[in-house]
């Protein structure tokens, strides 16, 4: 079976030391037969952990108790963050550039134990926002018109989403994660920069616009499916919470329907604290967690009506401006369930989750 993907190739002439014009070519790829993985957990209900927490024996006891006693059945572990650190071994470029950090020394054994305990494991990879690698290998980074490194409002550098070596680097990390035992790969920051002076962003594809941006992200996901699905991994992506509610790409290349073609799960990050006042006609979205989640999920279901991808939103379990506790977290979960969505992930920056918002294991069953 043959299929086509758009490949953006950058040719550099060493003799003239001039970068030639980027060309858009059609590349014929031989696609291996993809066997859709059987979902191990019917309804994923999980929490996000940093690698440092996942690697802490003390924290594991606390997390393990939640997994044993509540409806939780899954964990997401961040194996590559926006600082550029990679937390799993065996990735050549990460180790060469001193970006590997051994935060989970017994990662393989830990994943094996989680699997024995019936816990579904997801590896989260921050893809294009990568300050560490962008500074170590500037030829892979988004640039300014003068050729220097472009940085966002927080002085973070980004990798160039059009660069095929950037693709390979992230997919190598993903492949290694699957080899270690992760059952799903979750791509985060699968987008272009959104803050800072983005008018100064220069990519290796000179004709960058919203159309090429969206096509390029879709081509990356197509390549991810080609490489990872034959290994038995499920694929998921994190998107802006507002993405399902708009027709355009929000200036970051995220067109929800196109992106679901190659993935199994889509996770809008529905954090009410991140919605502007007045959004959805709600004076203060942060104080109305049920309404915000209900509206976003409603819009997502309409947009994905013809897609086979499942919805699994990220929900807020942290306080920012408004105190979030048991009732606020429950309200978000209820909004999902009221719309027939029984999968969700909770996000807390400090990886501490509200036990009282979760059903007990017995009542959940």
Q: Are 184 and 176 in contact (CB under 8 A)?
A: no
pLDDT of residue 241: 81
Q: How far is CA 64 from CA 75, 200, 353, in A?
A: 10, 46, 12
Dump the DSSP string for 90-146.
Answer: --HHHHHTT-B--S-TTHHHHHHHHHHTT-EEEEEEE-S--HHHHHHSGGGB-B-TT
Average pLDDT, the chain: 88
Q: Tokens 């500037």 — which residue?
A: 138
Secondary structure (3-state) at 238: strand
Q: Say if strands 310-311 and 265-270 run parallel, antiparallel, or are unpaired.
A: parallel
pLDDT of residue 251: 63
How many CB atoms are closer than 10 A to CB 64?
Answer: 14
Phi and psi of 119, rounded to 5°? Answer: -95, 130
pLDDT of residue 104: 98
Of the candidates 260, 332, 248, 345, the residue with the CA atom closest to the CA atom of residue 301: 260
Q: How far apart are CA 106 and CA 55, in angstroms?
A: 8
pLDDT of residue 7: 34
pLDDT of residue 19: 36
* Positions in the chain whose pLDDT score sits under 70: 1-40, 248-251, 365
Of the candidates 357, 27, 328, 334, the residue with the CA atom closest to the CA atom of residue 164: 27
């Amino acid at each position: 079976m043959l299929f086509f993907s758009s490949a953006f190739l950058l040719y550099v002439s060493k003799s003239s030391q001039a970068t030639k014009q980027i060309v858009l070519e059609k590349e014929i790829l031989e696609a291996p037969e993809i066997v859709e993985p059987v979902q191990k957990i019917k309804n994923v209900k999980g929490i996000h952990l940093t690698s440092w927490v996942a690697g802490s024996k003390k924290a594991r006891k606390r997390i393990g108790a939640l997994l044993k006693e509540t409806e939780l059945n899954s964990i997401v572990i961040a194996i590559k963050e926006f600082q550029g650190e990679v937390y799993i071994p065996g990735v050549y470029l990460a180790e060469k550039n001193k970006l590997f950090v051994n935060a989970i020394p017994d990662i393989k054994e830990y994943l094996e134990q989680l699997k024995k305990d019936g816990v579904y494991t997801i590896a989260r990879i921050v893809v294009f926002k990568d300050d560490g690698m962008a500074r170590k290998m500037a030829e892979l980074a988004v640039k300014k018109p003068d050729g220097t490194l472009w940085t966002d409002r927080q002085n973070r550098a980004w990798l160039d989403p059009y660069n095929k070596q950037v693709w390979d680097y992230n997919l190598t990390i993903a492949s290694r994660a699957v080899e270690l035992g992760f059952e799903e790969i979750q791509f985060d920051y699968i987008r272009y920069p959104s803050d800072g002076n983005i008018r100064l962003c220069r990519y290796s594809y000179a004709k960058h616009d919203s159309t090429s941006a969206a096509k390029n992200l879709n081509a990356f996901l197509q390549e991810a499916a080609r490489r990872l699905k034959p290994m038995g991994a499920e694929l998921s992506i994190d998107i802006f919470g507002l993405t399902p509610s708009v027709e355009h790409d929000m200036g970051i290349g995220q067109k929800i329907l196109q992106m679901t073609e190659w993935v199994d799960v889509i996770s809008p990050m529905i954090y009410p604290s991140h919605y502007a006042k007045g959004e959805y006609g709600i004076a203060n979205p942060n104080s109305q967690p049920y309404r915000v989640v209900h509206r976003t999920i409603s819009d997502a279901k309409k947009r994905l009506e013809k897609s086979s991808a499942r919805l699994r939103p990220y929900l807020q379990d942290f306080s920012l401006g408004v105190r979030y506790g048991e009732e606020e977290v429950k309200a978000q979960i209820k909004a999902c369930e009221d719309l027939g969505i029984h999968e969700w992930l909770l996000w807390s920056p400090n990886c501490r989750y509200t036990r009282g918002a979760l059903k007990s294991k017995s009542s959940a069953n």
